[in-house]
Amino acid sequence: MKLIQIHSQPSWVIRNDDVALAVTRLGAHMAPVTFCRADRRPVQPYFISPWQNEGVRLSVPCLVPLRGDFFCVPFGANRAPYRGENHPPHGETAGSAWSLEDYRANQHTRSLRLRLQMHVRPGSITREFSVVQGHNVVYSCTEIEGFDGDAPFAHHAILRMPARERGLLISTSPFAFGMTYPGMFSNPAAREYQLLAPGATFKRLTRVPSLYRTKRYVDYSAFPRPAGFTDLVELFEKPSLHPSWVTAVNTDERWLWFALKNPSMMPGRVLWIENGGRHAPPWNGRVRCLGIEDGCMFFDRGIADSCRPNPISRWGIATCTRFGGKKPVVVPYIQGAANIPKGFGRVTDADFEPSEVTFRSATGRVRLPVCHEFLFNPSRVSAL
């Protein structure tokens, strides 16, 4: 496995007939990813930051390769030390150099395994990315050993937005409630602007409370809109033995992206809506993307606020995880994509059959081979 320079970052690449994915050495960010390689319309859903190849110097390590999907522990900005620990934004995992541990390939499955030693809080973490013949899916499995103590964690997928307003339609499995960021997420003094009211709860993405009396609610189930703002909301779920799902339908390019998680392990889903609302470098008012960030966390407020009592943990929903002990913490996650017929529209529901998922809209359905059992038994994919 040789490193290849892709959008200014040395990266490893694995592929089969259906999926090709690149993973950066710095931060293990996953992108570009091409799904549906055998189709007439390959799908590339992920965002890659526009400052790649510009030679800019950035003080926040995770911003250097920013793209696709990456794993964060501790998740968040880590504004305050926690028990003497000062972690970089989104943790060492998101901006440190990873090493190649293994690459395996057989007739059906190809897997890339990376490792990182953590130093702020000692521990080791491995990430394995697998593609399976016949599946337009990336199966990722993250194992955290050591790292003793509590911390928030999350995947940090970032999708590119289409140019046309409301061209990206978001749907999720049912959630208990949602909340806007508990404070000012975007500071005008830093040339950042937000649309949503702070600390407000809601039951559906089509009716999220805003700051403005003239437009009290915003539909944040369709993007991009409105321009000039950046916001953060989180959706919270109760424990379940069934997969939690989220989909994004691009109606212009006619593709569907999806992610699946175990909600008992990852009860939070953050949506980071970036639509030209940040004007300081390197953002420069030009960035349009949607973060869909699944994990166990209290927004992006970092390890101290996530591990101490907060409004969400007081309602009985976990915002951090206990690491350490005799066994590693294992986090499986699934992301995939499919082409959809013209007029398919918004996903209304998902049906799970053995090793298969069907996404339904008002006008049709898309059936896909997906080993969703992997979410509750991570060894399942390696056995295919």
The set of residues, in sequence order, having a beta carbon less than 8 Å from that of 357 and lying 6+ positions away, is 245, 258, 260, 350, 351, 367, 368, 370, 372
pLDDT at residue number 1: 85
**Residue 81: predicted pLDDT:** 85
**What is the number of domains present in the chain?**
1
Here the CATH number for the domain that contains residue 91 is 2.70.98.10
Total count of residues recorded for the chain: 384
Q: Which domain holds residue 50?
A: 4-383
What pLDDT is recorded for position 159? 98
Is the bond into 224 cis (omega within 30 degrees of 0)? yes
Q: Which residues pair with 104 in a beta bridge?
A: 111
Taking only Cα atoms into account, the Rg of the chain, rounded to an integer number of angstroms, comes to 19
Confidence (pLDDT) at 10: 98
Residue 57, phi-psi category: left (phi > 0), alpha (psi -120 to 50), beta (remainder):
beta
- pLDDT value of position 380: 58
Per DSSP, the residues of 188-199 read: GGGTB---BPTT
Beta bridge partners of 304: none
pTM: 0.96
Average pLDDT per run of 10 along the chain, which is 384 residues long?
A: 96 97 98 97 98 94 98 92 93 98 94 97 97 97 97 98 95 98 94 96 97 91 91 96 97 97 98 96 96 98 96 96 94 98 96 97 96 88 57
